[in-house]
Amino acid sequence: MAAVDRRPVLEADRISLKLDDHLGDDVLSSVSMSLYKGEITLLLGPGGCGKSSLALCLNGIYPHAVESVVTGSVKLFGETPDLRHPGKTAQTVGIVFQDPDSQFCMLTVEQELAFCLENIGCPREEIGGRIEDALKLVQLSDCREKEIHTLSGGQKQRVAIAAALVLRPKVLILDEPTSNLDPASAQLLADRLHALRRLLPMTILLIEHNLDPWIEYVDRLVVMDKQGTVRYEGKPDAFFMNQAHEAAQAGIWHPRAATLHRALIRDAGVTGGQADAGDIPGPLPLSARELIEEWTGYPAQIQKQATRSLRARLQKNAEPARRGAAVSEHAAGPGVAERILLRAERLSFFRRKRAVIQEISLSVRAGELLAVTGRNGAGKSTLFAVLSGLLEPSSGSVTLDGKPLPDWKEAELRSRIGFIFQHPEHQLVADTVYDELAYSFRLQNRSETEIGERVNGLLQRFRLEGRESFSPFSLSQGQKRRLSVAAMLSDEQQILLCDEPTYGQDAHGAKELMSGLRARADQGLAVVVITHDMEFVQEYADRVIVMNNGSIHFEGPPISLWSKPARFLEDQGLIPPIAARLLQAMEVGDPC
């Protein structure tokens, strides 16, 4: 744990926020919190509770740059920031937005970082070196001259982080910094920022649903409730040990090591089958390292019981007959689970003479959930655009029900293939949330009575009640994502392509989205999901494809992927689910 100065670096005192277009709604309600020198503070809370809004209050974007009403005070090093000079505050309190595209000003990566430095009057002879240092930290040295719009979502996210780091801020606010990163890149970013904050030292406020890369480095938690009020401020282990039930009810993610630990205690009978917080012997492990150290230290008999439980968890999707087959056959006739809906053969796509995807062949079957994963920039989103007919392949072919995509009329094609974009803003078409959800139903000529019933059902299911009259663009990123998925689920396409559907979601939202997609596959339709979450791949996917450098490097059931050599997984930017890592560690000492 880093040694810290207990005087607050940044302090919020009873901050409340009202947005000008919804003055009756408190986005934040009397929030008080403190950040301390050299610490990483993790800000948690259910989706839409105001975490991102609080971050924007802390560096003066609210109310200086966005019309709003803010009460309370913010102090930086004990003094009130001068909002007449927001550039000085931004230099001291850097922020990386949840949507990185919203903060770019220039065309290329180098220009973007140079623009930041020129704005603060950095000496010309220092600019090149500072740009290179920042790009090294985020593993983007080879992208220095690339145009930002050509980068993948994960690469853009790292550019935004580099643009903040190049200013060498005293406080760095990161809003969902790993949401689009492959697992290895997410862990490396956490490792490097942990080292950097101790070296400088730098204070970090982290808003994140993906806790696992960070949890070992987090010094303090600040937990908000759905009303926008702080309910907890203190140590992470005390919160997850003593308030696990309340956090789960609020939809707050738990470290997956802690969740698996509780389950194994129950399965292995360590405490007589009980898994309540008070029954857990010793400290609660929050990280994979702590979990492995804990369980490899148990007696052999308990370890054997735990390994049986772990194998059962990992085997559940190993059989060729998918979980949805029985449901699918009942719903759509015998053999539907083996029916190939979409086939790609030797598919390639070039952008400016560079191969983005090359020689890809794959099939999408009815009744399955197919996961596509791999490193950032591997070509996953481009593959989806080609499979959906939004991009024309440079070579190769795509057929839907045996018919080439160009031979389908556009309206027919869109009625059979749905596409949920990586950025939900790209597919929002209506002025209100209600109309967005009603849009497809109206195209189907349903009555307004039926539309109202179905829309209200979707509003409740996806926790968008009370937002019916809001503009979709005024929602939080997590709410926008739920809206985009809900709107697409109102259609009945044979194939649904989903690019990062759980992006920006709390625990409730992610489970609801993935359960809905799984149910769709179980009904005999096909779902193809781009995801970097290996836990979701293990829990929901029947089959997984791993892409790297525009090609497929693996295709098969998830359990076969986890058994690949560590070097292979590392090369693909993957980290296996925590159950697979623990099982491997335990079997080293017990090969049976």
394 and 460 housed in the same domain: yes
pLDDT tens-place string over residues 155-212 = 998 999 999 999 999 999 999 998 888 999 999 989 989 988 888 889 999 999 889 9
Tell me whether residue 135 is in a domain: no
d(CA 436, CA 392): 28
Contact criterion met (CB below 8 Å) for 380 and 386: no
- State the helix-helix crossing angle for 433-443 and 448-461, rounded to 10 degrees: 130
How far is 149 from 180, CA to CA, in rounded Å? 15
Give CA–CA dist 188/138, Å, rounded. 8
**Beta strands across the sheet bearing 68-76:** 26-36, 8-19, 68-76
Q: Give the chain's largest Cα–Cα span.
A: 71
Among candidate residues 224, 249, 274, the one where a domain is terminated:
249
| Residues 57 and 189 both lie in one domain | yes
Same domain, 200 and 236: yes
Looking at the domain assignment, is residue 140 inside a domain?
Answer: no
Are residues 571 and 533 both part of a single domain?
A: no
- The series of mean pLDDT values per 10 residues for the chain, 592 residues long, is 69 89 72 94 92 90 84 91 70 87 92 94 95 92 94 89 92 91 91 87 92 96 92 95 89 94 87 47 89 93 93 73 40 54 97 93 97 95 96 97 95 91 84 92 88 92 89 86 84 89 87 91 96 96 97 97 96 97 84 40
pLDDT of residue 290: 96
Contacts of 422 by beta carbon, 8 Å cutoff, 6+ apart: 153, 180, 381, 499, 500, 503, 530
- The Cβ-side half-sphere exposure at 222, using a 13 Å CA radius, reads 25
Residues 400 and 287 reside in one and the same domain? no
By the 10 Å C-beta count (0-12 exposed, 13-18 middle, 19+ buried), 125 is classed as exposed
Tokens of 246: 């309340």
In a domain, 516, yes or no: yes
**491 lies in the same domain as 386:** yes
Residue 531 counted as domain residue? yes
- Residue 283's pLDDT is 86
The answer to the question of residue 144 being in a domain is: no
585 in the same domain as 508:
no
Is the Cα torsion angle 209, 212, 214, 215 positive or negative in sign? Answer: positive
Same structural domain for residues 305 and 429? no
Q: Provide the phi-psi class of 366: left if phi over 0, else alpha when psi is between -120 and 50, else beta.
A: beta
Q: Which of 216, 197, 227, 261 is nearest to 53 (CA)?
A: 227
502 and 578 assigned to the same domain: no
Same domain, 465 and 588: no
On whether the CB atoms of residues 485 and 501 are closer than 8 A, the answer is yes
**Is there a domain that residue 2 lies in?**
no
The CATH number of residue 27's host domain is: 3.40.50.300
Is 373:426 a contact under the CB 8 Å cutoff?
no
Domain range enclosing 270: 255-318+566-592
**In sequence order, what DSSP letters do the residues of 106-166 get, joined into one string?**
SSBHHHHHHHHHHHTT--HHHHHHHHHHHHHHTT-GGGTTSBGGGS-HHHHHHHHHHHHHT
The structural domain count of the chain equals 3
Measured between alpha carbons, how far is 405 from 413 in angstroms, rounded to an integer? 8
User: What is the structure's pLDDT at 479?
Assistant: 87
- Residue 172, φ and ψ in degrees, nearest 5: -120, 120
Residue type, 427: Q
Q: Rounded to the nearest 10 degrees, what angle do helices 578-589 and 288-295 cross at?
A: 30
Does one domain contain both 312 and 428?
no
> pLDDT at position 322, please?
46
What is the pTM assigned to this prediction? 0.87
Positive/negative CA dihedral, 142, 147, 150, 153? positive
